[in-house]
């Protein structure tokens, strides 16, 4: 076994028996490269990555390939989920080279870890129009020895480009009006909607990714126009279609697991039918949030069922050690992609019988010839709209019988490491969904995960670790860990009313201010000021597979401003937006989370609910809050006699004639109290002329 045998990452342990002389990322590996003056071969992947497995079987398990790697390079293997900071640097380098990016990431570096050339998957032997990996290895090593000036030119150019990417385009704003009119967000939304696939949903063609933050931005734009009464909704129907069609197609397509719940990472086709079968915690957390927002606008029974099934999947199959949530399920089982999930028509008939089998197959598009590699991916494209209650009820036990049979198969690999940032996403999603659907078990699971991370994955100075597995906490937390856990804390406060969550959120931000903040240009670096094994210290606000930490923080700061009444948080929110707003003119696509947070800053609606938490009348008002589509709502729950921050517009207000009351507060004033739940749906965003 090689050096990876001492690691805890399931991905690294998959490579512990390779004949490759792997090193884990760290100062020791870099020191070995400098001692021997050999270039570094950096290989980055993750446990659920199908093409990572392919390259491992073809190359890293091969004694022939391993001999070349060991002779010419210091070989370093990285789990991109454990070290997102390392992955981000070298993925950016690959993109600067003009490559699309993806995993496995294969990067060649100087002995100091500075990249000079790279790619993704390389086959062994040569195929798919790609050179064979052994030829690549020998060619790169020869260039390193014989063409040092070419290597130096590439190295210097890439390093300079990486450093420039860490310089944000800050904008100074003056005056009391909005820094950017909300009308600009409307224009951006219309431009994005024009690029959406009107028939199948999503941006462009295959492959298609869910991109929840993008569709949230479009939904917000539609609701903003609908509630303002200032736009012609007929003309803006393409905007509504842009998110509604995408959600319907995703939920009905094969990217969704119709038996077990949960979404795969992306679809490899244009119609959301053929998934890349791996299931990631972060995708499902974001999609729960998006579907809840959509259901507050359109309470579609199928979307409600998808939320319920996905939340239940998270509690059933993704809870890891201590109550935290695991990272992912693999795409492969028994070495075959998707084998766990696909079906033969005859197999379904044998399990369900001659009457139920054909009925089920007709609903879920199962045919004798199959729809993917001669087998069937279940989908509801033939019948996306729900049948009548009797037929939908008939499907429930049929799905359960097939799932029970599927559970007997060899399961895909489970990566059970607990990541703080991804858990923050799921904690917030379950807290909000639990409040919306009155599911105490979802909220309880969110609280357990929260307490596990805060109690187990923090040190005595309050600093988070990024990863936990097998009793070990590893790697200092990144910006996303703090941002997502702070967001989770605020979500838990809004749902429970427990002030301790606000205290914890402020403590997490305090660590960011001490160790991550850019005091000059604003915003926060990805890594702390005492990180020692990275060639550059990155800073950006670009959403990727997960929302950008700098974008997430804008929303956190706004909520803390409203909930604490402390203007310091408003100043931080404005500075956070201005730090990255300069990029809106050149490339707005990766800035959706930032723009969603900015709309919250301009249009926040605080809902102060005063009443006995357990009283039926209070619960009726609480349900109405979560049933109404108010994307910018910030909820505060108060027991009678409890106080709000000094100077808050709801100060001194309480129950009305013994009845619980809801105070709607905007722009530092509160409307007359609402005691009738039916009135909650008519709440509007604050009026502004700066559109």
pLDDT at residue 225 is higher than 90 = no
Q: Specify the DSSP element, H or E, that contains 395.
A: helix 389-406
Please indicate, yes or no, if residue 177 is contained in any of the structural domains: no
pLDDT one-digit tens code per residue, 415-425: 999 999 999 99
What would the two tokens of residue 319 be? 């809870």
In angstroms, the CA 397 to CA 279 distance is 24
Phi, psi of 196 (to 5 degrees): -80, 150
Whether 211 maps to a domain, the answer reads no
What is the total count of domains within the chain? 3
Cα-flanking dihedrals φ and ψ of residue 10, to 5°?
-55, -35
User: Mean pLDDT over all residues of the chain?
Assistant: 93
- What would the two tokens of residue 494 be? 């809004």
Three-state SS for 517?
strand
Q: How far is CA 241 from CA 192, 197, 237, 247, 296, in A?
A: 12, 9, 6, 10, 16
Question: What's the token pair of residue 169?
Answer: 């385009």
Going by pLDDT thresholds of 50, 70 and 90, the confidence category of residue 688 is very low
- CATH code of 69's domain: 3.40.30.10
**286 and 425 Cβ atoms separated by less than 8 Å:** yes
- Looking up residue 676, the CATH number of its domain turns out to be 3.40.30
The pLDDT confidence band at residue 349, using thresholds 50, 70 and 90, is very high
Write the pLDDT tens digit of every residue in 457-489: 999 999 999 999 999 999 999 999 999 999 999
The label of the residue with tokens 């070349």 reads 68
Q: Which of 165, 190, 211 is the last residue of a domain?
A: 165
DSSP 56: I
| Domain boundary residue, one of 133, 165, 197 | 165
pLDDT at 231: 60
The C-alpha atoms of residue 474 and residue 464 are separated, in whole angstroms, by: 10
Question: Going edge to edge, which strands form the sheet with 414-419?
Answer: 279-280, 326-329, 414-419, 465-469, 472-476
Q: Quote the CA–CA distance of 264 and 342 in Å, as a whole number.
A: 13
Residue that terminates a domain, selected from 406, 434, 449:
406
CA 487 to CA 423: how far, in whole Å? 11
3-state secondary structure at position 207: coil
Percent of the chain's residues with pLDDT above 90: 81
pLDDT score of 623 more than 50:
yes
Query: Strands of 115-119's sheet, edge to edge?
Result: 22-24, 74-79, 40-45, 105-109, 115-119
Residue 22, domain extent = 3-165
Q: Give CA–CA dist 522/554, Å, rounded.
A: 12
Share of residues in the chain with pLDDT > 70 (%): 96
Q: What is the pLDDT of residues 272-292, one digit of tens each?
A: 999 999 999 999 999 999 999
pLDDT in tens, 535-589: 999 999 999 999 999 999 999 999 999 999 999 999 999 999 999 998 888 889 9
How far, in Å, CA of 333 to CA of 410, rounded?
6
- What pLDDT is stored for residue 475 in this prediction? 95
- In a domain? residue 490: no
Which candidate, 505, 487, 510, places its Cα nearest to that of 286?
487
pLDDT score for 227: 65
For residue 87, being part of any structural domain is answered with yes
Q: How far apart are CA 221 and CA 187, in angstroms?
A: 9
pLDDT in tens, 495-544: 999 999 999 999 999 999 999 999 989 999 999 999 888 999 999 999 99
- pLDDT, tens only, 100-123: 888 999 999 999 999 999 999 999
122: in domain: yes
Res. 135 pLDDT band, cuts 50 70 90: very high
Looking at residue 56, its pLDDT comes to 96
Answer whether residue 690 shows pLDDT above 50.
Answer: no
- Residue 176 pLDDT exceeds 70: no
Residue 137 predicted with pLDDT over 90: yes
Give the mean model confidence (pLDDT) for residues 245-254.
94
Read off φ and ψ for residue 458, nearest 5 degrees.
-125, 150
Taking a C-beta distance cutoff of 8 angstroms, is the pair 171, 576 a contact?
Answer: no
Taking only the tens place, the pLDDT of each residue in 388-426 is: 888 889 999 999 999 999 999 999 999 999 999 999 999
Instruction: Give the mean model confidence (pLDDT) for residues 592-596.
Output: 97
d(CA 474, CA 82): 8
Would you state the pLDDT for residue 580?
A: 93
Please check whether residue 436 lies inside any domain of the structure. Answer: no
Over residues 24-50, the mean pLDDT reads 96
- Chain segment 179-204, per-residue pLDDT in tens: 788 889 999 999 999 999 989 999 88
pLDDT above 90: residue 687? no
Bridge partners of 469, per DSSP, are: 472
Cα gap 606→523, rounded to integer Å: 26
pLDDT above 80 for 385 = no
Q: Is 76 inside a domain boundary?
A: yes
Instruction: Decide if 388 is inside a domain.
Output: yes
């Amino acid at each position: 076994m090689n050096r990876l045998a001492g690691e805890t990452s399931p991905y690294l342990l998959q490579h512990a028996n390779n004949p490759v002389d792997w090193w884990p990322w760290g100062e020791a590996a870099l020191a070995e490269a400098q001692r021997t003056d050999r270039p570094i071969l950096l290989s980055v992947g993750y446990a659920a990555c199908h093409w990572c497995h392919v390259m491992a079987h073809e190359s890293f398990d091969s004694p022939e390939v391993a001999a070349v790697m060991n002779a010419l390079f210091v070989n370093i293997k990285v789990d991109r989920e454990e070290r997102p900071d390392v992955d981000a640097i070298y993925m950016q380098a690959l993109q600067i080279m003009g490559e699309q990016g993806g995993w496995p990431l294969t990067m060649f570096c100087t002995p100091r870890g500075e990249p000079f050339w790279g790619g993704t998957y390389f086959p062994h032997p040569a195929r798919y129009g790609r050179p064979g990996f052994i030829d690549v290895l020998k060619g790169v090593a020869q260039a390193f020895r014989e063409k040092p000036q070419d290597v130096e030119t590439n190295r210097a150019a890439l390093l300079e480009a990486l450093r420039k990417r860490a310089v944000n385009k800050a904008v100074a704003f003056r005056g009391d009006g909005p820094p950017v009119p909300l009308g600009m967000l409307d224009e951006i939304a219309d431009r994005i909607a024009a690029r959406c696939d009107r028939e199948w949903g999503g941006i462009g063609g295959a492959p298609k990714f869910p991109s929840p933050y993008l569709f949230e931005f479009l939904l917000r734009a539609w609701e903003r126009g609908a509630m303002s009464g200032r736009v012609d909704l007929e003309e803006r129907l393409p905007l509504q279609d842009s998110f509604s069609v995408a959600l319907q197609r995703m939920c009905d397509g094969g990217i969704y697991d119709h038996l077990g719940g949960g979404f795969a990472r992306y679809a490899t086709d244009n119609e959301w039918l053929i998934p890349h079968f791996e299931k990631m915690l972060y995708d499902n957390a974001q999609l729960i949030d998006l579907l809840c927002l959509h259901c507050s606008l359109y309470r579609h029974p199928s979307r409600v069922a998808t939320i319920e099934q996905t939340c239940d999947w998270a509690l059933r199959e993704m809870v890891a050690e201590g109550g935290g949530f695991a990272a992912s399920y693999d795409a492969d089982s028994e070495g075959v992609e998707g084998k766990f999930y696909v079906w033969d028509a005859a197999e379904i008939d044998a399990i369900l019988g001659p009457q139920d089998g054909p009925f089920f197959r007709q609903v879920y598009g199962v045919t004798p010839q199959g729809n993917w590699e001669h087998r069937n991916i279940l989908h509801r494209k033939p019948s996306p709209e729900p049948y009548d209650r009797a037929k939908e009820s008939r499907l429930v036990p049929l799905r359960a019988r097939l799932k029970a049979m599927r559970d007997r198969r060899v399961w895909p690999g489970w990566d059970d490491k607990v990541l703080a940032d991804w858990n923050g996403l799921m904690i917030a999603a379950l807290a909000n969904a639990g409040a919306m659907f009155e599911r105490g078990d979802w909220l309880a699971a969110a609280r357990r995960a929260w307490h596990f991370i805060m109690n187990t994955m923090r040190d005595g100075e309050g600093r988070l670790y990024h990863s936990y597995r097998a009793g070990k906490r590893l790697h200092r937390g990144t910006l996303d860990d703090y941002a997502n856990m702070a967001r989770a804390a605020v979500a838990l406060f809004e749902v429970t009313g427990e002030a301790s969550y606000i205290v914890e959120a402020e403590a997490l931000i305090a660590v960011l201010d001490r160790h991550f903040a850019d005091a000059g240009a604003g915003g926060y670096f990805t890594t702390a000021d005492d990180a020692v094994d990275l060639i550059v210290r990155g800073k950006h606000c670009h959403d990727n597979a997960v929302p950008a930490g700098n974008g997430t923080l804008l929303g956190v700061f706004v909520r803390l401003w409203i909930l604490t009444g402390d203007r310091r948080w408003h100043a931080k929110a404005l500075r956070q937006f201005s730090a990255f707003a300069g990029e809106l003119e050149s490339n707005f696509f990766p800035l959706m989370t930032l723009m969603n947070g900015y709309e919250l800053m301009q249009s926040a609606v605080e809902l102060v609910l005063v009443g006995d938490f357990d009283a039926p009348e209070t619960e009726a008002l609480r349900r109405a809050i979560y049933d109404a589509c108010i994307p910018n709502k910030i909820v505060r729950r108060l027991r009678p006699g409890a106080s709000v921050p000094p100077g808050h517009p709801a100060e001194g207000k309480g129950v009305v004639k013994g009845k619980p009351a809801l105070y709607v507060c905007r722009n530092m004033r509160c409307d007359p109290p609402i005691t009738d739940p039916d009135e909650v749906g008519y709440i509007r965003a604050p009026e502004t002329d700066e559109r």
